[in-house]
Amino acid sequence: MSDDPHSRGGPPTYVQPGARTPSPAERARTLVAGAVDGTLSTLAIDPAGFPFGSIVTYALDDHGRPLVLMSDLAEHARNLAEDPRASLLVTAGGAGAGRLAAARATLVGMSVRLGDADQEAAVERYLEVHPGAFWARFPDFAMHRLELEAIRYVRGFGEMSWVDVSAYADAEADPLADAEAGIVEHMNDDHAESLRTIVGAFLDVDGEVTEAKMIACDRYGFEVQLALAPAEPDAVAGLAFGRLAFDPPLTAAEQARQAMVELVRAAERTGRS
């Protein structure tokens, strides 16, 4: 996925044969669809030409383009009236330095103030996401759409790429996104041994796996962080990562439990765990 040189190296990653991962476009669409605000950067009128960042709330249209409600009195609206070039930074959670390991996407494009024919539909879409925004129909507020020209997606340290805009427009947000944190927590708290069973059956890991911890889950499968026993008695324990598949991919979060049960049963049938 990455086009950056520092993405190479680090702990080994083991992938189950045939396992599929979300594309950068799917990951970016999922992130942006799951958020409701971001940092809009415009080119300032005063001081002229400097980047100017503002917090804005948004909704998405059917193609994943941000619909931003802004007052004509806002500084970023004044900036856009002079120069429509803009970017919207959307980030996942994280605290302190940990935010650098969290996913984020920068959507770059031209901001367009919607005409009267499109305003009402855009306001309705915005109010679906922000039902308490009673000011949405104030006379000095208008909807603006960011016409995308480039997207930069960063999943974390060493995993980043430019995303094809048309692929992003066609992508669907992951159906497990809202439930992912609960799935991960449940598996780690209540089914840690089952994760080790699955890893033992379907990943050809070089070394003894002493612990398997789920760290991410999506429609295509899930990722684990592995602790490996030291190769020698006085050596330090190793670290590795793994990717396992759901076959077929899931279409709803409610399917995750049964998919994990079936993986455990299949692993036990292999006799390798």
Residue % of the chain over a pLDDT of 70: 92
What is the C-alpha separation between 213 and 244, in angstroms, rounded?
A: 12
Mean pLDDT confidence for 174-202: 97
Calculate what percentage of the chain has a pLDDT beyond 90.
85
pLDDT for 132 equals 96
Burial (CB < 10 A; 0-12, 13-18, 19+), residue 67, is buried
Instruction: Please state, in angstroms and rounded to a whole number, the distance separating the CA atoms of residues 138 and 158.
Output: 44
Give the domains, in start order, of the chain with CATH numbers. 11-171 (2.30.110.10), 178-270 (3.20.180.10)
Question: Distance between CA atoms of 150 and 166, rounded to whole angstroms?
Answer: 10
Banded pLDDT at 9 (limits 50, 70, 90): low
Residue 234, pLDDT score: 62
Per-residue tokens: 202: 């379907």
Mean of the pLDDT values across residues 195-203?
96
Strand segments, DSSP code E, in the chain are 13-15, 37-43, 51-60, 66-71, 85-91, 104-113, 141-156, 159-163, 209-218, 221-228, 238-245
Rounded-to-integer distance, Cα 194 and Cα 197, Å:
5
Average pLDDT over the chain, rounded to whole?
92
Question: What is the C-alpha separation between 239 and 39, in angstroms, rounded?
Answer: 35
